[in-house]
Amino acid sequence: GGDHTITYPILQALAAKHGPVGLVHVDAHTDTGDGALGEKIYHGSTFRLCVERGLLDCGRVVQIGIRGSSYDPDPHKYCREQGFRVVPAEECWMKSLEPLMREVRAQLGDRPTYISFDIDGLDPAYAPGTGTPEIAGLTPAQALEIIRGCKGLNIVGCDLVEVAPMYDASGNTALLGANLLFEMLCVLPGVKTL
């Protein structure tokens, strides 16, 4: 549920306990904007705020599924300058993400890591119930590969955000979101699965 602003206070609490954390961030957008409508804190500025407050271990941040139109000729420049790995959606099209997740696990190592999954990381054909849909996104199977690919990481928390059921009369977005949350619970450290 909720918009992506909710991740900011969660990461504040986690960083107070663990220090700066790594991040697996699935989204259509980087959420590193510098405010909107005169406000610094909004769902599109979450990870800039986290960088500014020292909550992220920036060399251990991976953003997957990023896409969409931009007003900037180099929309990922800020992220790259921070040391984030940005994986645009087009690098994910029509292939398994298991090889990517092997690289991600190696990059993130065994230090504390958080998973933040915006439902708009998925193509709106699968998840139309969100406020900022972008075409040409990830598939549900790729979402499972990403989440299951996090097994073995030192995951200290996770979220799934931006589900807006009123935009999806079928209920499929909420169903997909619930299943992805279940999958996240299954990859938490110490959870035994069959």
CA distance 182 to 194: 14
Residue 147: partners with Cβ closer than 8 Å, 6 or more residues away: 115, 117, 180, 183, 184, 187
Residue 35 has pLDDT above 80, yes or no: no
Query: Could you give the residue ranges of the DSSP H alpha helices within the chain?
Result: 7-18, 46-52, 77-82, 98-108, 140-148, 172-186
Q: How confident is the model at residue 148 (pLDDT cuts 50, 70, 90)?
A: very high
Q: What does the pLDDT average to over 174-185?
A: 98
Question: pTM for this structure?
Answer: 0.97
Taken in order of first residue, the domains within the chain and their CATH numbers are 4-187 (3.40.800.10)
Residue 96 has pLDDT above 90, yes or no: yes
Q: What does the pLDDT average to over 168-186?
A: 97
Q: How confident is the model at residue 152 (pLDDT cuts 50, 70, 90)?
A: very high
Q: What does the pLDDT average to over 25-43?
A: 89
Burial 102-120 (b: 16+ CB within 10 A, else e): eebbeebeeebbbbbbbbb
Summarised one tens digit per residue, pLDDT across range 117-140 is 999 999 999 999 999 999 999 999
Residue 194's pLDDT is what?
78
Burial status of residue 129 (CB atoms within 10 A of its CB: 0-12, 13-18, 19 or more) = buried
Beta bridge partners of 63: 25, 86
CA distance 24 to 104: 8
Candidates 68, 48, 41; CA nearest to 130 is 68
Summarised one tens digit per residue, pLDDT across range 8-28 is 999 999 999 999 999 999 999
Site of tokens 């918009």: 3
Residue 72's pLDDT is what?
84
| Averaged confidence pLDDT in the chain | 96
